[in-house]
Amino acid sequence: MEAEYVIVGAGSAGCAIAYRLAEAGRKVIVIEEGGTDAGPFIQMPGALSYPMNMKRYDWGYMSEPEPHLGGRRLVTPRGRVLGGSSSINGMVYVRGHACDFDTWDEMGARGWAYADVLPYFKRMESWDGGGHGGDPDWRGKDGPLHVTRGKRDNPLVRAFVEAGVQAGYPATGDYNGEQQEGFGPYDATIHKGKRWSAYQAYLKPAMATGNVEIVRGLARKVVIEDGNATGVEVERRGRVEVIAASREVILSASSINSPKLLMLSGVGPAAHLQEHGIEVVADRAGVGQNLQDHLELYIQQAAIKPVSLFKYWNLLGKAFVGAQWLFTRTGVGASNQFESAAFIRSRAGVKYPDIQYHFLPIAVRYDGKAAAEGHGFQAHVGPMRSESRGAVTLKSADPKDAPRIFFNYMSHDSDWEDFRTCIRLTREIFAQDAFAPFRGHEIQPGDGVQSDAALDDFIREHAESAYHPCGTCRMGERDDPMAVVDPECRVIGVEGLRVADSSIFPQITNGNLNGPSIMTGEKAADHILGKQPLPRDNAQPWIAPDWQNSQR
């Protein structure tokens, strides 16, 4: 089997690349280990907590015991299905802050500043603000990726934004537009009541051109001959074969599997590869390093009125929601329920937001482990720019073995300080008048948890990953010893090989990573095709005028 381009991974970036290459008339094979995304658990936005806990759709990875979180091992879901993690995620759509991308550019990812990437965000989007404010000039109108907003008819969802304004924060009509900072409506990758994954948006139409073929199998390694990537070794139906690439191999296998594949192929820290008996093709110290993620806490409050989604939290309620969605694609099941957002700064002197909120009009956990105790609401909150860095390394040279994933969460004093601030600022927001008609007792952490030490105990026990791993094949200048790919996504030290997914982010962006991952695929496709990048867009984002002296 042969194609001009072989892409490993049918996830957010891989699907976008396949689409743009197919559009240009190139022949592409996409290797994906997972199967179809058919079925209500993936398609119904309200069922989002199911697919990420299903072996069928998820690689089932776990972190190593995290020493600063009491030795807990945290789940690290990664999509193993057409659409990758965009088929099992929470569908929250965040571009990231303009300053994030300007920081990338300063860190050596030249040509990835905000002015460079904004045109790609516009090219990929078909945005429908649903009459909830925002400036269409900052958004895309006819891209493959449909981005919509929920109905926002739950009174708790509206109370959250009102409470933020009462607490002295700005409101924003569109955090993906000119002003990220503030409280406002969430964007979601939902279209006509269904999850709009990268598979639906990009890969399905790309396959319809006849230029893209999907091969279902486990990518074992990249075949590299005389410093040139010539194909990918795949195991499928019990046989190992090579799929040849006449032009290039592109890894879009995730921030966990892309570095793993590079190392299995002989690209990585030489001593680590030799330890596992792997012949070194290119000694790149940065492969697997620089692992970053967002952690979050659920701050939960009881509600004294029956206004939350708890009324559906029983067999009958779930049956009603499911039936309504199945027959009409409307109702509670047609939304991911993350309908109010906030991005704020933790203190004066922070230039742009470093805390994100997802507000949910029910008090419940993703993994379903703790039953809801009754009506309530919660805010998922966490710092955006932790200094902690971890690594993805090999457990063995067997491609079937999961890699060793060590995030090293909470390894800096600043992490603890930031999280305590998150809790205290959230309590202050929940204490505003907008919540007065609904507010009961604090479920979690609980009124008794006030001192720094008590808050730290709560954080250690309850911090969860927001599932935003990235950074393990960092993009940078070609002479940077820790860079893995150059600013055109080419692997340094190997010809004909690129990496394009969230692993190349030099630093984690604000918010959820699906949007920036798709943008990475869009921009990488132009580099692969040798096209001039889209013209820069110098629109200036809003920065709080008095950020040096005030927190809000």
Cα 314 versus chain centre, distance:
30
* 191 part of the active site: no
Is residue 89 part of an annotated ligand binding site? yes
Is residue 147 part of an annotated ligand binding site? no
SS3 408: coil
Q: How far apart are CA 249 and CA 236, in angstroms?
A: 18
User: Do residues 266 and 224 lie in contact, with contact meaning Cβ atoms separated by under 8 Å?
Assistant: yes
Question: Per the omega criterion (within 30 degrees of 0), is the bond before 545 cis?
Answer: no
SS3 365: coil
- Please give the backbone phi and psi of residue 317, each rounded to the nearest 5 degrees, phi first: -60, -45
Is residue 14 part of an annotated ligand binding site? no
Q: How far apart are CA 351 and CA 184, in angstroms?
A: 20
Name 59's Cβ contacts closer than 8 Å, sequence gap at least 6. 77, 78, 79, 80, 256, 257, 402
Determine how many CB atoms are found less than 10 A away from the CB of residue 543.
14
- Please give the backbone phi and psi of residue 296, each rounded to the nearest 5 degrees, phi first: -145, 160
User: Do residues 418 and 411 lie in contact, with contact meaning Cβ atoms separated by under 8 Å?
Assistant: no
User: Nearest Cα to 190, choosing from 336, 377, 16?
Assistant: 336
> Could you tell me the two tokens for 320?
């009603």
DSSP annotation of 278 reads P
Is residue 215 part of an annotated ligand binding site? no
Catalytic residue among 97, 294, 358, 468: 468
Is residue 211 part of an annotated ligand binding site? no
Binding site per annotation, positions: 81, 89-92
Binding site per annotation, positions for FAD: 81, 89-92
Q: Which residues are known catalytic residues?
A: 468
